[in-house]
Chain A
């Protein structure tokens, strides 16, 4: 009875394609980064706290670090802040911030009030460093290894679940992770 099986088969194929489409549609905002497995973009930006000091990618070589793109205008970043403080508290990996398209005084007041989870913060009011990193929203967090290779990118606010599920397994054993600067 191929006569009946053919339309059924066509239906099954279309249904499968649509099911895949529906399944992926809510994740349309998560565009996979082509930078994973590639060297982290080099940058040299003024420090948020002190405009005369520079934060450069060269300073970060040799250590694992989390590169967190944030801004005080970004509501999800504010939601993420407690988790960042918790991560900083574990001492597993230093957080390097990229304060993206922000106002210096506002950002400093915010950190003073909420607590500062970052080891260093690079200030990028013009947004061109963020483009180098392929950033298209905030928060975005990159995990970079001591060789300067981007190991992982997380889009959206880091949750406690995401930290244990997505970040911890990619990090080396606790003793090696913390590096002084």
Chain B
């Protein structure tokens, strides 16, 4: 490994110190088997911290999140399925606690709205572009055929 110059070393130390509090904010939980560990990790990333709302249970340092992680750990150790654990939290906190809510009637607009907006936007954009193109073409035709006055095309200046 190449030797680092003193300023670089200092920079590295400073950067490491910068992330140190984040790394230590949440004490990692050890599950007895790798399979349980993987399920635990996946579950805590899928739940919203209800206090800080935009963070997952995995990333939240607040004590409610710690209690919820403990609840998940206990349920996993008791042999509950992921589905049962999700149901436990949804029945107490609502779909809001899931970062990826299921597609049900109540959440349909949530899932459909982006698609509807995208299609609406694309259709309107296509419509406007084609209309502009048609107007521009009509404009060019106007220059060839005098007397056949078309609609003034917006945004196109004749010199």
Contact = CB atoms under 8 A, between A and B. Distances in A.
Contacts of B51: 136-137
Interface in B116-133: 120, 124
Contacts of A32: 94
Interface stretch (A85-93, A103-111, A127-135): A127-135
B84 interface: no
Interface residues of B, number: 17
Name which of B70, B90, B93, B120 has the most chain A CB atoms within 10 A of its CB: B93
A132 B91 CA distance: 9
A34 B91 contact: yes
A28 B91 contact: no
B93 A136 contact: yes
Contact of A127 (B64, B91, B96): B64
Contact residues on A (Cβ < 8 Å of other chain), bracket: 20 to 34
Given A10-B124, A126-B67, A136-B64, A131 B53 contact: no
Given A31-B50, A128-B71, A133 B63 contact: no
Nearest to B67: A127
B159 interface: no
A136 B50 contact: yes
Contacts of A127: 63-64, 67
A144 B124 CA distance: 52
Interface string B41-76: 000000000110100000000011001101100000
Given A127-B63, A137-B51, A34 B68 contact: no
A11 to B, nearest CB: 12
Nearest to B68: A131
A45 to B, nearest CB: 14
B67 A131 contact: yes
B92 interface: yes
A127 B70 CA distance: 10
Interface in B12-47: none
B64 A35 contact: no
A101 interface: yes
A128 B91 CA distance: 15
B89 to A, nearest CB: 8
| Nearest 10 Cβ contacts at the A-B interface | A136-B50, A134-B92, A127-B67, A34-B94, A134-B93, A31-B96, A131-B71, A136-B51, A131-B67, A34-B91
Interface of B: 50-51, 53, 63-64, 67-68, 70-71, 90-94, 96, 120, 124
Interface of A: 6, 10, 28, 31-35, 38, 41, 101, 126-128, 130-134, 136-137
Given A131-B67, A131-B68, A132-B92, 10 more contacts: A10-B124, A28-B53, A33-B93, A34-B91, A34-B92, A35-B92, A41-B92, A127-B67, A134-B92, A137-B51
